Structure 1
Amino acid sequence: MRTILVLMDTLRKDYLSAYNPTTNVQTPNLDAFAKDSLTFDNHYIGSTPCMPARRDLMTGRLNFLERSWGPIEPFDITLPKVLAEQSVFSHLTTDHTHYFRLGGEGYINQFDTWDFQRGQEGDPWHSIMRDPEWMPEQYHGRLRKQYQANRELWCDDEDAYPTPRTFASACDWLTTNKGEQDFFLQVEVFDPHEPFDVPKKYMDLYQKDYAGPFFETPVYGKVDVPEEAEEYVRNRYSALVTMTDVHFGRLIDKLKALDMYEDTQIIVTSDHGYFLGDRELFGKNYMHNFNELAAIPLFVKHPQRKKAGKRTSELTQNIDVMPTVLDTFGIAVPAEVQGVSWQPIFEEEPRNKPFALYGAHGITVNITDGKYTYFRSPNEQNQPLFEYAGIPTTIRHYLGEADPASIQTGRFLTRTDYPVFKVPIKRAAILDGLPDVSEYTKDSLLFDLEQDPYQQSPIHNAELEEKYKTFLKEQLVILEAPKEQLERLSLNN
């Protein structure tokens, strides 16, 4: 048995024709793959953004209820390690530089082997003390000097970009291991995450005549650029989706050439979406998790082609990946896993997944049953709030470093006897560097997804809201959320 997980960061489902027939974005390889796969119409994130989403994938548990961005913990039971115990080999090939930054410890070490393609985002790779060859004087949004330095190493050479190199690395690994069984391969590309850097030939498919300032990385918050720049950055994202699709197609072609495509389970998904001017916003994390962020693509090609070309409305999310893969290999799912295998969907068997819970630590907590979605806002003080960590790192810094005397240590997590730090948090770690953005999540919202799939008109129905508040409270207890979450979300009554 072979399983391949392809993870494309920040891939919005509404940019794919498999989900949105009116899109102008060209993704012929994903379109063809969807015809061989079961397409999931109600697939959701769990924890957001990048590293919380990966801990979800790796452990089958929701990271965001306990902590923000952070490493694999010493007490985590991970998918690759469980596979290794049953002699299933695992390999990761990626260009995701967050694995190698503070707050990304331990992920790659779960795999038997791994390969890293350098250069994405602010990866400290091309070591030059001079200014990069090209630093535009005028630009919108953000400009990373280190990334401008890195791009000197590929310029407009498409195959030298990190995403093509990552897919090429996966193809090389498959060639080396042609015909092997019992492996799990994770192919993970940072694109189409910002910066939306893409060779000119792809940009020309969408726009040739932009004459404004350089723009490929929006600043998170209200759209603050001219309309033509907003349209341009959307086109850059579209172009990057197309380039990613092209190189995904090369991976599929390699599998077919090696006669390894038909009997391999292939899973294609993302970690979260992104606001590209939608609701007059750029970015992610600080606003409610509307479906532009939370509803993500999922295509699964069954090794026996079951349900090829079909769709399912079954509710799934990324914590379901771990139990699904273990189920595929016939391996028992650890008791602490919160996800639910979707393999029964292929067999027309019952599956107990009534709700998906999702969010970012210290912001809102959201619940959906596929019919309604409910965004629960915190109380006005957003307190009490703690992070629980055996390794107290988060994105680019350490938890509690401003007030270490306030940190407690103890056995606070029910699933492990491992002592952890309990760190009081005044503001969600993922909001570091942003101004006060609490206005974007100050109100709890309820949407009818059948009548209002684009979540434009919150409904005001006290009885229905009370019903979903009860569901949310019950799920928080089932999912072993720290008790103070109920108080923070005003759910104790």
Structure 2
Amino acid sequence: MNLVVMVLDTLRYDVVHHRGITHVHVPNLDALRRDSVSFSAAFGEGEPTVPVRRALMTGVRSFPWRYPFDTKGLYTGNRGWHKIPPEQATLAEILLVHGYKTALITDVFHLFKATMNFTRGWLNWEFIRGQENDNWQSGNLNLIRDEIGRYVRGPLDLRAHATLIQYLLNKRAFAQVDPLTSGTVFRRGIEWLQANHDDGPFLLWLEAFDPHEPWDPPRAYADRYCPDFVGTEFIMPHVAPQVASDREKERVKALYYGEITYLDEWIGRLLNTIADLGRLKDTTIMFTSDHGTELLDHGRFGKNAAALHPYNTQLNWLVRHPSGVGAGREVGAFVQGHDLFPTTLDILGVPKPERTEADAVRGGRSVWPLIRAAAGERVPAATLAAARANRDFAITGWGSYASVRDRRWNYIVNFERPEADTRLYDIGADPDESRNVAAHHPDVVRAYRHRLEGFLSQELPASLPDCFTPDNNRNPAQLYYKRRA
């Protein structure tokens, strides 16, 4: 049995599943969803980018933050943003020693920053350069000054626009191959399959940073959703709610939707390649995402740690098994990113690694019994009960915030300063999670706070032992352009 895993960044669940946002053109994902089992209550456990990948690759929760690793040079302020702990075996390492040819192809530049070690276990790995503020290309600002003017309202602020500057300098190089680096990820994945598919079992892991900002698809894709546009295109959209016109805000959404449609075409090419090579019959395909993004749901574009709502925290997870088990079915149990690892080993029949006691407690659990049960297969009662246990809620951590979510309530709190921000949303009465009803339900707040305290093994306010030092992690581009300003 082979395995192909696709991970997309910043991809909203409701776009892929046409729930609420129904008009985005993703025919290849639609086809994959029909052939797969899908999970309607998949939520992030530790967000954003790097903690998610670590949990996917090791099967161990990233949150609560607990590692005092050296993070100097990572230039981001996110908690849990560090390497894979040495005692945690990765999926690639395990499959490699079981005879699998393992390959990682990605443009997620965060995985290759100083002190990172996400190349562990990959027989082949390829870093596609140029995404966002990947410090790759350089050049005189005059090379991109005219283009910057299309994406910025008002004068150029070198420090505030450092990421955009770096991206546009990078684009001068990567666009000679494909319009977006994510396209190159899939192109190289297709080429890898063509060269390696018949050389024993394989794991191909494709990581595409899109549809993360900047939202910059080939414009025909955005025109599908917002045609005949004239105005500023805020491809870095965070300031748009304050300064953009209504039409420009619609264009921002169209740019995001356009990136998704662009990626869907590449997903279709990859799936067609797997079929043409005759590998659908012996390859499990998994498709997932790390988090979503806000599209003015609560007045913003982009993500932030305090907004632990479904548009940010709900994940896509599709599992296509070559036998067709569960195809077209939906599993409603709460699942999280660290469940992918044990599920994969279960499907492939590979033993789980030995864990430390602490990691065993925080380890994910296989959802393969849930998939089989959803397909109508007879699963031993004890096995099914174990797989279903404690799947009636999900805990998500992001920065200094945490969410405890179940079918009825979403409790969000700054776990370091609960007196500053504690919120409760009644999901049944308020599915958009717009009205904080914490003051009206103190008993519910108390119960969910107690559940979080049990999870963290300490009362709130909590203090976690990670040691991220923002002053040691400044973006080199911002440091440089601050000096130039």
Give the TM-score of the pair, scaled to structure 1. 0.79
- Structure 1 residues 305-454: aligned runs within 5 Å: 305-334=324-353, 335=355, 336-337=359-360, 338-348=363-373, 349-350=384-385, 351=387, 352-354=389-391, 355-361=393-399, 363-380=400-417, 442-454=420-432
Cα gap change, 1:469/1:124 in structure 2, threshold over 3 Å: closer, same or farther? closer
Structure 1 distance, partners of 2:20, 2:448, is: 32
Is the 2:414–2:422 contact (alpha carbons within 8 Å) kept by the matching residues of 1?
yes
Q: What's 2:445 paired with?
A: 465
CA drift at 1:486 = 5.7
CA drift at 1:488 = 4.7
Structure 1: runs of 5 or more not aligned: 383-440, 478-482
Paired residue secondary structure (1:108): coil
More helix by share: 2
Amino acid across the alignment from 2:204: L
Is the 1:78–1:110 contact (alpha carbons within 8 Å) kept by the matching residues of 2?
yes
Amino acid across the alignment from 2:277: L
CA drift at 1:296 = 1.6
Q: Does 1:153 align with 2:181?
A: no
CA drift at 1:329 = 2.0
CA deviation map 1:323-346 (0-9, x unaligned):
111112222324324211111112
Q: Does 1:8 align with 2:20?
A: no
Q: What's 1:247 paired with?
A: 266
Cα gap change, 1:253/1:471 in structure 2, threshold over 3 Å: closer, same or farther? same
Q: Does 1:93 align with 2:112?
A: no
Q: What's 1:399 paired with?
A: none
Cα gap change, 1:286/1:346 in structure 2, threshold over 3 Å: closer, same or farther? closer
CA drift at 1:131 = 3.2
CA drift at 1:154 = 5.1
- Structure 1 residues 4-403: aligned runs within 5 Å: 4-16=4-16, 18-20=17-19, 23-66=22-65, 67-102=79-114, 105-129=116-140, 131-133=142-144, 134-137=146-149, 139-140=152-153, 142=161, 144-153=164-173, 155=175, 159-219=178-238, 223-334=242-353, 335=355, 336-337=359-360, 338-348=363-373, 349-350=384-385, 351=387, 352-354=389-391, 355-361=393-399, 363-380=400-417
CA drift at 1:447 = 2.6
Structure 2 distance, partners of 1:118, 1:184, is: 22
Is the 1:367–1:373 contact (alpha carbons within 8 Å) kept by the matching residues of 2?
yes
Aligned residues: 421
Is the 1:3–1:184 contact (alpha carbons within 8 Å) kept by the matching residues of 2?
yes
Cα gap change, 1:182/1:448 in structure 2, threshold over 3 Å: closer, same or farther? farther
Is the 2:233–2:252 contact (alpha carbons within 8 Å) kept by the matching residues of 1?
no
Structure 2 distance, partners of 1:442, 1:277, is: 24
Structure 2 distance, partners of 1:48, 1:262, is: 34
Is the 1:37–1:300 contact (alpha carbons within 8 Å) kept by the matching residues of 2?
yes
Relative to structure 2, which stretch is displaced further, 92-101 or 122-131?
A: 122-131
Structure 1 distance, partners of 2:330, 2:231, is: 42
Structure 2: runs of 5 or more not aligned: 66-78, 154-159, 374-383, 465-485
CA drift at 1:473 = 2.4
Cα gap change, 1:127/1:61 in structure 2, threshold over 3 Å: closer, same or farther? same
Runs of 4+ in structure 1 off by over 6 angstroms are none
CA drift at 1:188 = 0.9
Q: Does 1:487 align with 2:467?
A: no
Give the TM-score of the pair, scaled to structure 2. 0.80
Higher relative CO (Cα under 8 Å, sequence separation at least 6) belongs to 2
CA drift at 1:112 = 1.9
Q: What's 1:407 paired with?
A: none
Cα gap change, 1:353/1:341 in structure 2, threshold over 3 Å: closer, same or farther? farther
Amino acid across the alignment from 2:343: T
- Identity %, equivalent residues: 30
Paired residue secondary structure (1:175): helix
Structure 1 distance, partners of 2:441, 2:348, is: 45
Structure 2 distance, partners of 1:152, 1:452, is: 46
CA drift at 1:124 = 2.8
Structure 2 distance, partners of 1:22, 1:161, is: 24
Structure 2 distance, partners of 1:322, 1:221, is: 38
Structure 2 distance, partners of 1:62, 1:106, is: 17
Paired residue secondary structure (1:280): coil
Relative to structure 2, which stretch is displaced further, 341-350 or 215-224?
A: 215-224
Amino acid across the alignment from 1:473: E
Structure 1 distance, partners of 2:461, 2:352, is: 28
Relative to structure 2, which stretch is displaced further, 224-233 or 183-192?
A: 224-233
Is the 1:207–1:232 contact (alpha carbons within 8 Å) kept by the matching residues of 2?
yes
CA deviation map 1:453-491 (0-9, x unaligned):
3222334322222222232223334xxxxx4766359xx
Amino acid across the alignment from 1:359: G
Structure 2 distance, partners of 1:343, 1:94, is: 27
CA deviation map 1:424-456 (0-9, x unaligned):
xxxxxxxxxxxxxxxxx9432223334433222
Paired residue secondary structure (1:453): coil
